[in-house]
Amino acid sequence: MGKWWQSAVIYQIYPRSFKDTNGDGIGDLAGIISKLDYLEKLGVTALWLCPVYRSPNDDNGYDISDYRQIMQEFGTMAEMEALIKQAKQRGIKIVMDLVVNHTSDEHQWFIEAKNDPKSKYRDYYIWRDPKAGKEPTELKSVFGGSAWEYDEQSGQYYFHQFSRKQPDLNWENPVVRKEVYEMMNFWVAKGIGGFRMDVIDLIGKVPEKNITSNGPKLHEYLKEMHQNVLAETKLVTVGETWGATPDIAKLYSDPKQKELSMVFQFEHVQLDQFPNRPKWFTRPLSVVKLKEVITKWQVELADVGWNSLFWNNHDLPRAVSAFGDDGIYRVQSAKMLAIVLHLLRGTPYIYQGEEIGMTNLKFTDIAQIDDIESKNMYQEYKAKGYSNEELLQMISHKGRDNARTPMQWDATKNAGFSSAKPWLAVAPNYQTINVKAALADKDSIFYTYQKLIAYRKSHEVISIGDYSLLETKAEVFAYVRSYEGQSVLVIANFSKNVQKVALPKYQIQTPFIANYDNSPRDLAQLELRPYEALAFEIT
């Protein structure tokens, strides 16, 4: 038998934007608990919670000041325990975000390290002397500016790959690693189901050699972590690894390596970008490339390793806006994306709101933006001469706040997210796009997801079957899954145009899932409607 997470579907929650219960405009743990029935109805196996730990929120919880406390705005440890317990009663596991490449500068370790260079905590972080009166290296922070911050008091710089309020931990120090494993075990003891590991490919950094991702000791550290935390458990672990190639992904996810269950790789979400240029500069998505990339990962990880499957997350544009059509074909293309992704081999992830087809926004004023990455970019590029309009267009297209606007529960004020003004404005389309409307419409995107999740759970051909691409036309994505004499054929039109496809081998078949209707189709002369997707059981 396979592992539980091989037939699982994981739902990602951005707690700040999910559901507010105490009227402060900020989502909370009680809000998640109040929606467990909804999540159970959808059928998901686990919830990955973006960070819920104590944090000053410079990067919305990815800057942790105490790993063993809950963010005050989100609730209490008792509520966290209640969430774990009540989710478990519904067969749902809780996957915690593990952010251990860096802490907050308000973490006690960093406070001690900064205040007293002789403290044992100094070496928990990465401090270097100036070089010729300047930064030790040229390395840049992901959020703009230098990756080195000068500390007046000691005359040294500390290293931060993200904001200056997110100092990097020094993984070379065995005491740091031990602290991390102990902290992980603290959470394991609470009965969680796994960890999503934030920028885990950066922990083996060697700043003086300009090495950030895929450092020389990365896999050694992960093996050590496995031994100290994961070995005797059934936990799922998924690493966030922007720098993974298929060969690297196999190192992480081959069970023999004893590291992780799987990793997130980001090749397909970067196809609208230019190599070596910031994400803000984009080009139209090529469907041919998208098929190539998805196929490459399906094939490369077929025998060794395991794929994660996703279209979006809290850092990325909304799936339907990035890969489908968020205008007149929103419903069809959102279902098409669900069908294509959820019938692949791997573990699918759904980002909150994806199951109702939530969209990107049109931001018209930088004051509407909360995200540190977008705000820093705006300032940096403004100074370079880009116009306000150009920058807001870039942010509307690629900015992280697209994913972070509040979950749209119903058509009442603030989309039923909160009784107070939400911390980030609700998308203006909430009156039509919301959970209540989705649940009331048996043809909604929600029910397509529900059906796909149930199908995966009960069909090994989907969870562990083989994958092969069918050559068709540029804008049509067709593939076959097969396992022990069973086959599933998936055909999807990734365009607004009608596409004619001939698959004479198959003839007349009735789809078990479709995004227009389930009437029988002649595959020998198929005419696909805009964004039409069909899946057939071939016998």
Q: How far is the CB of 236 from ligand ISL (least distance, A)?
A: 17
Residue nearer to ligand ISL on the CB measure, 198 or 259 = 198
Instruction: Decide if residue 400 touches ligand ISL (CB under 6 A).
Output: yes
Residue 240 annotated among the catalytic residues of the structure: yes
**Nearest approach, Cβ of residue 106 and ligand ISL (Å):** 15
Rounded to whole angstroms, how far apart are CA atoms 239 and 317?
A: 20
Residue of the chain from 7, 8, 19, 20 that contacts Ca ion (CB under 5 A): 20
Nearer to Ca ion, 23 or 284 (CB): 23
**Of 111, 142, 304, 470, the one binding ligand ISL by CB under 6 A:** 142
Q: What letters, b where the CB count within 10 A reaches 16 and e where it falls short, cover 498-529? A: ebebebeebeebebebbbbeeeebebeebebb
Contacted entry of Ca ion, ligand ISL, none for residue 142, CB cut-off 5 to 8 Å set by kind: ligand ISL
User: Which positions from 71 to 110 touch ligand ISL by CB under 6 A, shown as an x/- string?
Assistant: ----------------------------x-----------
> Which residue out of 20, 28, 73, 240 is catalytically annotated?
240
Q: Which two tokens stand for residue 537?
A: 């059981």
Rounded to a whole number of angstroms, the minimum distance from the CB of residue 387 to ligand ISL is 22
Instruction: Give SS3 for 318.
Output: coil
Q: Does the active-site annotation cover 401?
A: no
Rule CB under 6 A: choose which of 62, 297, 323, 477 binds ligand ISL: 62
Encoding tokens for residue 31?
């809000």
> Residue 373 touches which of ligand ISL, Ca ion, none (CB < 5 to 8 A by kind)?
ligand ISL
CA dihedral of residues 449, 454, 458, 461 (deg, nearest 10)? 0
The Cα 333–Cα 316 span in angstroms is 18
Question: 273 near 279, Cβ under 8 Å?
Answer: yes
Residues in 286-315 that interact with ligand ISL by CB under 6 A: 314-315
For CA atoms 419, 25, 377, 161, the dihedral sign is negative
CB of 162 to ligand ISL, least distance (A): 4
Q: What region, left, alpha or beta, does residue 214 occupy, with left being phi > 0 and alpha being psi -120 to 50 degrees?
A: left
Q: What residues between 27 and 66 interact with Ca ion by CB under 5 A?
A: 28
Q: Which of 238, 123, 134 is nearest to 174 (CA)?
A: 123
Q: Does 532 bind ligand ISL (CB under 6 A)?
A: no
Measured from the CB atom, the residue of 93 and 314 that comes closer to ligand ISL is 314
Interaction between residue 272 and ligand ISL (CB under 6 A): no
Among 8, 13, 26, 435, binds Ca ion (CB under 5 A): 26
Task: Report the distance separating Cα 466 and Cα 133, nearest Å.
Answer: 58
- Window 184 to 213, contacts with ligand ISL (CB under 6 A): 198-199
Give the per-residue SS3 of 86-120.
Answer: HHHHCCCEEEEEECCCECCCCCHHHHHHHHCCCCC
Tell me how far apart the alpha carbons of residues 226 and 223 are, in angstroms, rounded to a whole number. Answer: 5
User: CB 380 → ligand ISL: shortest distance, Å?
Assistant: 13
Q: Which residues are catalytic?
A: 198, 240
- Using CB under 6 A, list all residues that contact ligand ISL: 59, 62, 99, 142, 162, 198-199, 240, 279, 314-315, 373, 400
